[in-house]
Amino acid sequence: MSLLEQLNDKQAEAASCVDHHLRIIAGAGSGKTRVVTTRIAYLIDELHVYPNKILAITFTNKAAKEMKERVENILGDVASAVQISTIHSFCVRLLREDILEIGYPRNFTILDSDDQKSILKDAYKQMKIDVKSYSYGSMLSYISGNKTNFIDPNVAKMNAGPWAGEQIKADVYAFYQKRLQEMFALDFDDLLIFAHHILRDYEEVRRKWQRRFKYIHVDEFQDVDNLQYAIIKMLVKEDSYLCVVGDPDQTIYTWRGAQVDIIMNFDKDFPNAKTVILNQNYRSTQQILNGANALIKNNRNRIDKDLFTEIEGDSKIVHFTAMDGDNEPVWVAGKIKTLHHAGINYKDIAILYRSNYLSRGLEKALLDAHIPYRIYGGVRFYDRAEIKDALSYLRLLAPKSEDDPKELFKNLAVKRVINSPKRGIGAKTLELIETQAGHDQTNMYDVLKHYEIGKGKARASIQEFVRVIEECRALVDTISIDQLMERIMEESGYLAMLDEEKEIERKENIKELINDIADYVESNPDGSLQDYLQEISLYTDKEQTQQGDFVQLMTIHAAKGLEFDNVFVYSLCEGIFPNEKSVGEGGQEALEEERRLAYVAFTRAKKQLFLSDSYGYSYILDKIKTTSRFISEIPEEYLEDVGAKPRNSFAGDVDTFSGADFLSMNQRSRSFSTGERHQDDMIQHAPQDFVDNSSKTVEKPKKKGKIRKGDLVNHASFGDGVVIKMEGELAVIAFDQKFGIRKIMVTHPSLTKK
Ligand SMILES: Nc1ncnc2c1ncn2[C@@H]1O[C@H](COP(=O)(O)OP(=O)(O)OP(=O)(O)O)[C@@H](O)[C@H]1O
Ligand SMILES: [Mg+2]
């Protein structure tokens, strides 16, 4: 079968349209991504375009990997020369080649959020700023907001006007920028900003990159922001072709600057662009698709589409309301067991949720039911403390580069590992080392090397530290990177420390990292230590590459573009999904974004879709939960209720309530959730009745006491979250999607236990 025969007429028309700019606007599952991959294969296989002339930009590393695999399945090895990457990886590639133009070394460092915070810490200390007044998170978003809008620290200072608070923020921004420049370090925003700057101002470079690609593709174009679009536009020259695909109903990143207008107005920027609209969905059954279509129609600010599917299915969308928050994940786990017994693989099941913290209850239920699962985008492998320590050690071994003689990036690494394992270096001494380094115009490691630091034992352990680093450094060209890592971990005493502290999991992580480096060495035999360090600084989807039969858990944002046979959407309660903020102050626009998110979630399912919510008290909302409006927006003909929400009238019977009763109460539940729902009513009358009579007593939130794993907490800037792990005095907390997973000192004044 020829390539185009695997597509319908409309899709084939789009895939073979190679002499125009092209825009594909189409709903979920209509084959947009398939058109892009087939088009790439068609260009290479039938039109004999060189693979390296083709660029494809995807939204996540996982999507890039999947797209690569799809093209490789069609074409085999030649596909590896096609550049398929996220926009950030693309920019890194560009900068590694051309950043010298603006006086930066090619081996610039990419900062992660911990590094960023460490810089803020220094700024706060120097400027005597109290973190209680300016949380790191809010300061970083202030900085990011300015940077991505091209507002430099001087302008920010002017914008600050007479307000002292704004002045302070602008000063921190200036400090931060200066520090980054000194270290030749770039944060994630800078990757795009610098690439944009170079492409815009250096014509030769721009021409070179324009010449490089003749066919440029961008998937998930509805979530592109202005800066990304500016970069993409600059890659297009007179005789190259841009193909963008997207679905305005799936715009879910406006809170991060995505501009749906960009796809809508594409034909104004590229007047001769062709637009193809696809309307057949090949992913989901009719019940699922019709349910999702009905839901999204409730958004006022959208263009209607006629998406249909020919896939018939036996099952309606299943909706279950549990009696309380404990029973909801238990039901999900039970259902998954049933599916598994019926012969369905765990990996064909996904559980999607609105916010990271929601995974906690699910994890517990899955563990109890012995169901293997993986969390995607949770505490990621490369975000774990021990991995960062190990990589910091490796950074200290990096050979000197002519471009960057000072190597100030080593300061971060020294700060990270100097006391891991403990070497008795106090904050004061560290400060002295830093001052000395500033004075000598060098980095902190060089100071450790050339001066006698500390007294007695501390001095001896520093000398030993330097000796080990130097010894390993001398081996950089003789042993492989994985061996180097193994050696530095041994010799530095890091592994011994983990042994002593009985940190088995962390030790396993280090081993996994060494395995991972070995894989890298195998597939990149010529890759230098520098190359490896550069590559991993971007690679955050590590866990997603792991194979096996696992149920997949992730936030809906992370599920973008993916599909699974069976999908559970968890915790569809008013205030949770749609999120409380969007229901309240956010207004119509925020609510519509939440609905688009629900549309994305529902349309991930191919065969079966399960929606669940629960009754009972929510610590996070501090009220009794009610079923999400998104469920009542699905017409009854596509929805089957299998669980019941106890109503006031039978709250007293709850004690004797059995599983079988749940099933028999379908009707009542349905009339409750689709009938005239008065949330306020519920909140005023139901809770006491229910809580007092419930078989599972709902505990009242505790306000005081030590923070432990599993606790619900509130942070002044990030809102509510759940402690998913303790690392000494650090609590690893899952906050709302926007803030993700963060580590916070338990003693931090912004943190309170709920
Ligand atoms: N013409 C076709 N024949 C058979 N299967 C198809 C066809 N077009 C698409 N598909 C299949 O339908 C599913 C959805 O396609 P794809 O992921 O490309 O859709 P999409 O429009 O990119 O969806 P999303 O909006 O969620 O990103 C995939 O499994 C794909 O292989
Ligand atoms: Mg897609």
Look at residue 298 and tell me if it is in a domain. no
Q: What percent of the chain has pLDDT over 90?
A: 55
- Rounded Cα distance, 540 and 67, in Å: 17
Report the alpha-carbon distance of residue 573 to residue 628 in Å, rounded: 4
Nearest CA to ligand 1 atom 12: 282
Identify the band that residue 538 occupies on the pLDDT scale cut at 50, 70 and 90.
low
How far away, in angstroms, is 13 Cα from ligand 1 center? 15
Q: Which pLDDT band, with edges at 50, 70 and 90, does 665 fall under?
A: very low
309: in domain: no
Residues 604 and 496 in one domain: no
Q: What is the pLDDT of residue 171?
A: 96
Sorted by sequence, the CB contacts under 8 Å of residue 685 that are 6+ apart come out as 648
One domain for residues 392 and 468 = yes
pLDDT, residue 661, reads 31
- Which residue type sits at 292? A
pLDDT of amino acid 316: 96
In terms of DSSP H, where are the helices of 402-480?
409-417, 427-440, 444-450, 456-473
Helix 188-201 / helix 87-98 crossing angle, nearest 10 deg? 60
* Band of residue 511 on the pLDDT scale cut at 50, 70, 90: confident
Ligand-binding site membership of 29 (annotated)? yes
C-alpha–C-alpha distance, residues 156 and 146, integer Å: 7
Residue 663 has pLDDT above 50, yes or no: no
In this structure, what DSSP letter does residue 378 have? S
Task: Indicate which CATH number applies to the domain containing 554.
Answer: 3.40.50.300
Is the confidence at residue 89, as pLDDT, over 60? yes
Output the pLDDT for position 401. 80
33 belongs to the catalytic site: yes
pLDDT of 218 over the 50 cut: yes
Distance separating alpha carbons of residues 358 and 722, to the nearest angstrom:
8
How long, in residues, is the chain? 754
Average pLDDT, integer, range 521-540 = 79
Contact status, residue 628 vs residue 577, Cβ threshold 8 Å = yes
Where residue 696 falls among pLDDT bands split at 50, 70, 90?
very low
Residue 665 within a domain: no
- What average pLDDT score do residues 373-398 get? 81
Determine the average pLDDT of the residues in 369-390. Answer: 78
More confident: 363 or 36: 36
pLDDT at 554 over 50: yes
Residue 411's domain comprises 381-539
Closest CA to 160 of 151, 169, 147: 169
* Residues 480, 387 share a domain: yes
Q: Give the C-alpha separation, 354 to 555, whole Å.
A: 6
Give 738's pLDDT tier (boundaries 50, 70, 90): low
Q: Is residue 696 part of a domain?
A: no
pLDDT of residue 195: 97
Asked whether the beta carbons of 24 and 218 are under 8 A apart, the reply is no
Q: Which of the residue ranges 364-368, 486-490, 573-577 would you say has the lowest mean pLDDT?
A: 364-368
Q: Tell me what pLDDT residue 362 has.
A: 87
Is there a catalytic annotation at residue 400? Answer: no
Provide the sign of the torsion angle of the four alpha carbons 210, 214, 220, 221, taken in this order: positive
Shared-domain flag, residues 356 and 404: no
Which pLDDT does position 380 carry in this prediction?
53
Q: Give residue ranges with CB within 6 A of ligand 1.
A: 7-8, 11, 26, 28-34, 247, 250, 282-283, 561, 563
Q: Are residues 226 and 251 in the same domain?
A: yes
Q: Which of 16, 33, 62, 69 to mutate to test the pocket of ligand 1 (most atoms within 8 A of CB)?
A: 33
Quick: pLDDT tens for 153-178: 999 999 998 888 899 999 999 999 99
Percent helix / strand / coil, the chain, rounded to 5:
55, 15, 30
Q: What is the pLDDT of residue 543?
A: 41
Helix (H) or strand (E) holding 319: strand 317-322
With a cut of 90, say whether residue 252 has pLDDT above it: yes
Query: Mean pLDDT in the chain?
Result: 85
- Average pLDDT on 41-70 reads 91
Predicted confidence (pLDDT) at residue 548 exceeds the cutoff of 90: no
Residue 682: pLDDT above 80?
no
**Do 559 and 590 belong to one domain?**
yes
Residue-level pLDDT at 593: 94
Assigned token pair, 335: 């259902």
| Claim to verify: residue 477 and residue 582 sit in the same structural domain | no
At 724, the pLDDT band (50, 70, 90 cuts) reads: confident
Distance between CA atoms of residues 611 and 639, nearest Å: 10
Residue 604 annotated among the catalytic residues of the structure: yes
Q: Which of 279, 300, 330 is a domain's end point?
A: 279
Active site residue 6: no
**Same-domain check for residues 477 and 494:** yes
692 is catalytic: no
For residue 234, give the amino acid letter.
M
State which of 58, 67, 282, 307 you would mutate to test the pocket of ligand 1, scoring each by most atoms of that ligand within 8 A of its C-beta.
282
Instruction: Answer whether residue 357 is part of any domain.
Output: yes
Q: Which percentage of the chain shows pLDDT scores above 70?
A: 88
User: Tokens standing for 39?
Assistant: 């088009």
Whether residue 278 is predicted with pLDDT greater than 90 in this model: the reply is yes
pLDDT in tens, 279-297: 999 999 999 999 999 999 9
What is the domain-level CATH number for residue 470?
1.10.486.10
Domain final position from 279, 294, 326: 279
Determine the distance separating the centroid of ligand 1 and the alpha carbon of 642, expressed in angstroms: 30
pLDDT band of 322, cuts 50, 70, 90: very high
* Per-residue model confidence (pLDDT) at position 680: 26
**Two tokens, residue 483:** 């061996």
For residue 554, the one-letter residue type is M
Q: Which atom of ligand 1 is nearest to the CA of 30?
A: 21
The DSSP bridge partners found for residue 277 are 25
Q: Are strands 280-281 and 308-309 parallel, antiparallel or unpaired?
A: parallel
Same domain, 525 and 412: yes
pLDDT digits (tens, 9 = 90+) for 484-498: 999 999 999 999 999
Lowest mean pLDDT among 83-92, 132-141, 393-402, 645-654: 645-654
Which pLDDT value is given to residue 672? 29
Tokens of 287: 């019940």
Burial 591-615 (b: 16+ CB within 10 A, else e): bbbbbbbbbbbbbbbbbbbbbbbbb
Within a domain: 716? yes
Q: What would the pLDDT profile of 615-642 be if each residue is shown by its tens digit?
A: 887 766 777 889 999 999 999 999 999 9
Minimal-distance CA residue to ligand 1 atom 5: 282
Q: Does 687 score more than 60 pLDDT? A: no
Which residue has the CA at smallest separation from atom 29 of ligand 1?
Answer: 283
13: pLDDT strictly greater than 90: yes
* Three-state secondary structure of 123-149: HHHHHCCCCCCCCHHHHHHHHHHHHHC
Ligand 1 atom with least separation from CA of 37: 18
Q: What is the pTM of this model?
A: 0.72
Residue 683 DSSP symbol: H
Task: Evaluate if residue 671 carries a pLDDT over 50.
Answer: no
Which CA distances in Å does 400 have to 311, 317, 327, 672, 716? 60, 60, 58, 69, 43
CA distance 388 to 459: 25
In terms of domains, do 431 and 476 share one? yes
Residue 653 domain-assigned (yes or no): no
Note whether 85 and 215 are same-domain residues. yes
Whether the pLDDT of residue 256 is over 90: the answer is: no
Query: Does the annotation mark 32 as catalytic?
Result: yes
pLDDT tops 70 at residue 20? yes
SS3 readout for 322-373: ECCCCHHHHHHHHHHHHHHHCCCCHHHEEEEECCHHHHHHHHHHHHHCCCCE
Interatomic CA distance for residues 126 and 171, integer angstroms: 11
The answer to whether 98 and 201 are in contact (CB under 8 A) is: no
Helix ranges (H only) for 238-313 are 260-264, 266-269, 286-296
Domain identity same for 506 and 447 = yes
Residue 200 Cα, ligand 2 centroid: separation in angstroms? Answer: 30
Backbone angles phi, psi at 531, to 5 degrees: -60, -45
Q: Which amino acid is at 604?
A: R
Could you tell me which residues come within 8 angstroms of residue 71 by beta carbon, excluding any fewer than 6 positions away? 37, 40, 41, 79, 82, 84
Distances from the Cα of 61 to the Cα of 57, 89, 379, angstroms? 10, 9, 16
Whether residue 686 has pLDDT greater than 80? no
What is the total count of domains within the chain? 5
Q: Average pLDDT, stretch 524-546?
A: 70
Per-residue confidence at 360, pLDDT binned at 50, 70, 90? confident
Last residue of a domain, one of 539, 557, 589: 539
